[in-house]
Structure 1
């Protein structure tokens, strides 16, 4: 049996992992980031974005490949809602949850009730959802690393190395704790470093720590294992060089002096916080578990340790008022972040935010309400206008001078329009299946 593992646009770690498991068992496996496969290959497709589900090109590829005698199985984060995947893309089946534990069972048994986590249409056109797959082992073969991994750039990294699974947070917009659970399962350090060596051998230029919050590596009994995190970054830096390691994603309540020193000494020296909002009202509704005051202390602590700080913000939450939005602008002005990323609240299916959006009338959802303020001539929605405004506002307060040229203005404008359109597509998909 021959396999093609496809991860559209970027080689995700999950796709590489599935490829590695199949290759380890002696199968003929190739990995691609484009929609192409040998005619009768079994395609294992890893989809990480809800937007993939509305792609006519993706749907056409799947239909065409199946007509040519090949099979298509879909996994990845979108598998959390198999009824949408089956309804929109019509693959042979969906492998839900952590597919590593079920992939070989699927290869051996085919589409059957014996495969945990498999979802498919039966002969009567009814959706069958098998018993959930159990959490996968953190011991696994080396991923199948593509030969052109050096060309990949995901926020500056060739790839993200998975160090652990799970998140202690309860953010209402996030799929991670609902996909992997709130308990933390960590990999052995030597297994991680073996993988890092293999990525370097294959040409990877920079690697980033993945896992939601990097400092939760080896987290146990409610405590961060600072020494384990230090050993992780130090070990990776000894292989790749400290300027080729990043540990970007960390919660503001998961840092310490030791953690910050390790990031400074063994990485590129940046911390990326999911700040989301400067309003405690919005943070409470988002389930962040940390206040704006906590975020402020974390930013200041990073500066004391000589680190650069980037923050992500979400606008357009159904509960966000004008006062809440202003609080976010005030937070940015006060802290002069080195970089900012702004997105519109996306209702990922089966998250509490999605449930809230389903209960919110369209004429009360800021992603649909026409903006009537300063940017009304641009014909933006309220969410789009806030995103556009916040990005330009953040540029004014970055430590180095940033001039808003016509080129930057137009790039921000095009970006927020695309973001708004993407979120509306996701919202309409949500209503189609769950409304």
Structure 2
């Protein structure tokens, strides 16, 4: 059987992982980030591995499915990826044979063999959802690595590899605990090293390790610092410290030892999800932290010689002008080395998605008209970027080009999130079930 796994624009780790598993089982598998008619029509099965809710609305993706269905009637087309948490929406919006639900290592081969475990599909007007019965082990065959992986750039890395799954947090905007669970499942170090060596062999130069929160690797009843530091040291010996990053960390799971390890074995940056300078909004987001803890973690990292980037979310449905001004004040106190600003996105199955559909549009900052043809959320995103530039550890001159970059980013985020929000309102009855 010939299988094509399609990941729009980038090779995702999950798609490469499933490709490697299917290849080991004897399938002829091809991974593609571009829609190639000739390649796709030669397949028996095409799996659309989608990683953004926007993909459900993408006319190019929808039209490619229609094209394949019209030309090759017997071709099976499935959707997989993190969007699979709302199978009802996908099956109503896209003409596919089914949705592969959740973690696909165990169930994808079964589905290709005719087993419906882990598959959602339509029977007439009825939607049938068969949830997976178990979660997979994380040690697995080498992923299907494309020959041009070294040309890929995702936030500075060629690829994000997985060290563990699950998160102990309760953040209302995050899908990880719902998708992977709240218990931590970690891979063996030898298995990770074997994979990194193969990525290096195939041309990958810079690798980011991920799993939600890097230091939760091998977490049982507490953070296993020794295992985490051992992993960093071994990865650094393979690729060099300047080619390893640990992109995402929580302020409540770092200490001096962990930060020293990040300094010694990686590019020397931590990326904290700070989200807001308002304790009220942090409580609304269920971050489990507060302004003081965030500032203390930033200071500790700087004292250890580690650079600190912070991510912030604006336009949360409960965010007031006072909350936003507190975030601006926090940025002044923090003096971060870099900053990322996002408008609150209602990701499938999160508490935020439910809050958004329960919030009248006229009260949601993403729909409130503000100034300069921008919504309130867009304006805050743009304004916070400009404000942060003045208070970074090394401020940059606000050139016209830089201002336009931030302006365009804020407007694009706003346009995208309005599309997603309107989609969720269309299927409001499904959103409330999850």
TM-score, length basis structure 1: 0.96
CA apart distance, 1:401: 3.1
For the residues of structure 2 that align with 1:295 and 1:133, how far apart are their CA atoms?
Answer: 39
Note the alpha carbon deviations across 1:104-157, whole angstroms, 9 max, x for none.
101111xxxx422200011x2311101334211112111001100011001100
Alignment of 1:358-397 (within 5 A): 358-371=357-370, 376=371, 378-397=372-391
Asked whether 1:87 is paired with 2:92, we answer: yes
In the alignment, what sits opposite 2:343? 344
CA apart distance, 1:345: 0.4
Note the alpha carbon deviations across 1:47-86, whole angstroms, 9 max, x for none.
1100111000000011111222222111110001101111
Note the alpha carbon deviations across 1:287-338, whole angstroms, 9 max, x for none.
1011111111110010011010001000001111111101110111111111
In the alignment, what sits opposite 2:30? 30
Alignment of 1:29-178 (within 5 A): 29-36=29-36, 37-41=39-43, 42-69=45-72, 70-109=75-114, 114-122=115-123, 124-178=124-178
CA contact 1:40–1:68 (8 Å) conserved in 2: no
For the residues of structure 2 that align with 1:396 and 1:87, how far apart are their CA atoms?
Answer: 47
CA apart distance, 1:19: 0.5
Unmatched tracts of structure 1, length 5 or more: none
Asked whether 1:426 is paired with 2:427, we answer: no
For the residues of structure 1 that align with 2:336 and 2:32, how far apart are their CA atoms?
Answer: 37
In the alignment, what sits opposite 1:324? 323
Note the alpha carbon deviations across 1:263-297, whole angstroms, 9 max, x for none.
00000000000110010000000010111111111
* Aligned-partner SS, 1:347: coil
For the residues of structure 2 that align with 1:116 and 1:292, how far apart are their CA atoms?
Answer: 45
* Aligned-partner SS, 2:195: helix
TM-score, length basis structure 2: 0.96
For the residues of structure 2 that align with 1:56 and 1:396, how far apart are their CA atoms?
Answer: 40
Note the alpha carbon deviations across 1:358-389, whole angstroms, 9 max, x for none.
11111111111111xxxx2x211100010000
CA contact 1:313–1:343 (8 Å) conserved in 2: yes
Unmatched tracts of structure 2, length 5 or more: 430-434
* Aligned-partner SS, 2:219: coil
For the residues of structure 1 that align with 2:96 and 2:405, how far apart are their CA atoms?
Answer: 36
In the alignment, what sits opposite 1:239? 238
How well do the aligned residues superpose, as a CA RMSD in angstroms? 1.0
CA contact 2:107–2:132 (8 Å) conserved in 1: no
CA contact 1:247–1:267 (8 Å) conserved in 2: yes
For the residues of structure 2 that align with 1:90 and 1:414, how far apart are their CA atoms?
Answer: 33
For the residues of structure 2 that align with 1:232 and 1:407, how far apart are their CA atoms?
Answer: 40
